[in-house]
Structure 1
Amino acid sequence: MATKKQIAWFGISTAIIAVLIYMADINKFIEAVSQANTYYLIGALLTGLLPFFVWTHTWHSFLNKMGANVNYRKTFKLFMTGNFMNSVTPLGQFGGEPFMAYVIKENTGLSYEEGFSAVLSSDIINSVPIFTFVLGGAAFLLIFGSVNDIITQAIYISLLIVVIGGSIAYTLWFKSGTIENALTKGLRKITDRVGRGEKYVEKLDEKLENVEEAFERIGEDPRHLVRTASIAHAYFVFQVFSLYLILASMGIHTDFTPLYFILPLSSLSNFSPTPGGSGAYEATLATILTLMPAALFPQIPFATAIAVGILFRLCTYWPGLIIGYGAMISIGREKAN
């Protein structure tokens, strides 16, 4: 059951969406939604569900690499349950790894540290396609001379994240222990000065050693990482196509290239402190849609952009909550039997 805090956060998310619709003109919003082509929307929904299966594959790959020996069906339930728990917390779409690792620990033979390593590695791999398409799309636009300030900023941000994130991933998988040891040394210096907390640092050091061993196992086979990352690219393609179909349902026709930038930029709103970035994501996506240069993207009214943002989330995010809640109940019944 949802707690009062969870209900409150979803209430805030709903309020944000309601304010956006009001600001965009309710009548124009209703008109935009009512004119949407139903068949295109059904296609967008079906396409929007496919990323959950791709993300499950990434989980399945890393869990079995850790020795969990779980089939794809059970992995799907575990992933959807973990995704649900992550989505109902006020952490956006980030910071939910501990919740997901707990789900894995309780339902497989893996330790919490192994589950955490598998989940974090999955997150890293699943983020690769975003930057592949952003930088690939940028290269395409550079060739045809269509780069502007928005695209340039997106490229700089992507390159910065790739450098920082790539360095962290490389250190975790191939230089395991570097980050863990640095963290432990820093905490020991603090406890030496304060004169207390040594027992907690020792316990943390023991857990970090287990995390280090888990990441070493993942990094020992680089070809496995490359294969998993290659397959993960499919989810981003599905999301782009889902957004394309939603735009087409409203009579907005565009190339795929601008969408490679629109979705990653919108995903920055996932850092907002609402469940799954709800409210903030729709607002960000709508704003970016209206600010895209006319040379790259058709100019659309804000009310229509809000409708696109809400419909996109209805096709790609909210179904995951329903499926995840059902998966959580199913897993609970299996444990009880």
Structure 2
Amino acid sequence: MDERNRRAFIIGGLGAIAVFAVLFFAVGARGVVDSLLSADPSLVAGTFALALGWLAAWSLMLRTVLAALGVDVPVVRSFFVYAGAVFANNVTPFGQAGGEPVAALLISKVSDARYETGLVGIASVDVINVVPSISLILVGVAYYATTAALGSRLETAVGSAVALISAIVIVMALVWRYHDRLVERLPAVVAPRLGRLGLERFESETLEEDLRDRLGRFFENIERVATDRWRLAAVVGLSLCGWLFQTAALTVAFAALGYDVAPYVLLFVIPLANLAGAAPLPGGLGGIEAAFVTLLVPTTGVPASAVTAAVLIFRGAIYWMPVLIGGVSVSAFGVRAVR
């Protein structure tokens, strides 16, 4: 880890600690601890088992996308590769944006695929996951609105999510529409500036041609995934299964504390809270937990301390378990997670 990344990691870690400190102060740390101590161990184990189901479903997504790109990864290996990708996302600031390059390197390492092919694979999984999440948000909020009035906090969260997702979709559409121009012009702009980053050993013209070739293959691979309709439908289905596994896991986490929470509330709260992963914290750590508590307290009627305890159990399964499995995987595959 170089000095700049080490500094960013330390700052992000301190930020996460600060967020947790504020959260525990606001909800009452003693109440959270008491709730955690009262949790049913068998149901806590069930939460972790369901989280493994989520991890397996999204690892199959990655395997299916890579198959569309002509890269064959065995089922078991794809599980550990995806766990490694989640690990990279969880230990770098800005979530997927920070972890995708490391995940692409991991994929290329274990499958002998080109780096840009691995990047298309993991980026496609992340982008496709947005499609079911939007549907879950809209369906869940619409059903919730028939049973209770939408509070201003929830309206703001949904409005912000719709605006953010719409902006992302617009940017992606513009990039795709003008990707030929990007392939032609972007390398000429980038190549001369890479010499300032310690790449003086490469000739500008050679580097420009290499970048143009890689960028061209990147967009070709995206097109291959998008036009393979059967595989694309399977990937979207697996994505939905993953979200449902997460919903079931959080439902069981609440049950472990003795609370029965309507699953349709969790259907839209989970993808909404995960938007906080875009914060400059390691995998959104702290920010996502705070977002969950902020959304769940008014929509479930469960005490804040119990909500926080349930979220901590859930995040232990969704965040910390993949960090452990993925960290071991990354080490075993011989890839440095933070460069």
* Cα distance in 2 between the residues matched to 1:264 and 1:114: 27
1:223-255 deviations in Å (ceiling 9; x for gaps)? 321221012101111111111122222232221
Partner of 2:181: 181
* Cα distance in 2 between the residues matched to 1:190 and 1:63: 28
TM-score normalised by the chain length of structure 2: 0.82
Q: How many residues align?
A: 322
Decide whether aligned partners of structure 1 residues 190 and 262 sit closer, same or farther in structure 2, where only a CA change above 3 A counts. closer
Are 1:325 and 2:332 counterparts? no
Offset of residue 20 of structure 1: 2.9
Structure 2: runs of 5+ lacking an equivalent:
197-202
Offset of residue 177 of structure 1: 6.6
Offset of residue 155 of structure 1: 4.4
Offset of residue 315 of structure 1: 1.8
Deviates more, 1:217-226 or 1:161-170: 161-170
Partner of 1:13: 16
Decide whether aligned partners of structure 1 residues 93 and 308 sit closer, same or farther in structure 2, where only a CA change above 3 A counts. farther
Residue 98 of structure 1, aligned match among 85, 96, 101: 101
1:191-244 deviations in Å (ceiling 9; x for gaps)? 99xxx9974554432221111221122122223212210121011111111111
Partner of 2:253: 246
Residue 40 of structure 1, aligned match among 38, 43, 49: 43
* Cα distance in 2 between the residues matched to 1:232 and 1:282: 22
In structure 2, give the amino acid aligned to 1:312: F
Partner of 1:234: 241
Partner of 1:120: 123
In structure 2, give the amino acid aligned to 1:139: A
Residue 215 of structure 1, aligned match among 215, 222, 234: 222
Structure 1: runs of 5+ lacking an equivalent:
none
Partner of 1:81: 84
TM-score normalised by the chain length of structure 1: 0.82
* Cα distance in 1 between the residues matched to 2:323 and 2:308: 21
Decide whether aligned partners of structure 1 residues 224 and 168 sit closer, same or farther in structure 2, where only a CA change above 3 A counts. farther
Would the aligned equivalents of 2:161 and 2:275 in 1 still touch at CA under 8 Å? Answer: no
Partner of 2:199: none
1:142-181 deviations in Å (ceiling 9; x for gaps)? 5557444444444444444554444566677xxx573352
Deviates more, 1:9-18 or 1:30-39: 9-18
Residue 57 of structure 1, aligned match among 54, 57, 60: 60
Q: How does 1:201-212 map to 2 (within 5 A)?
A: 201-212=208-219
Would the aligned equivalents of 1:240 and 1:259 in 2 still touch at CA under 8 Å? Answer: yes
Q: Secondary structure at the match of 1:278?
A: coil
Would the aligned equivalents of 1:151 and 1:261 in 2 still touch at CA under 8 Å? Answer: no
Would the aligned equivalents of 2:106 and 2:333 in 1 still touch at CA under 8 Å? Answer: no
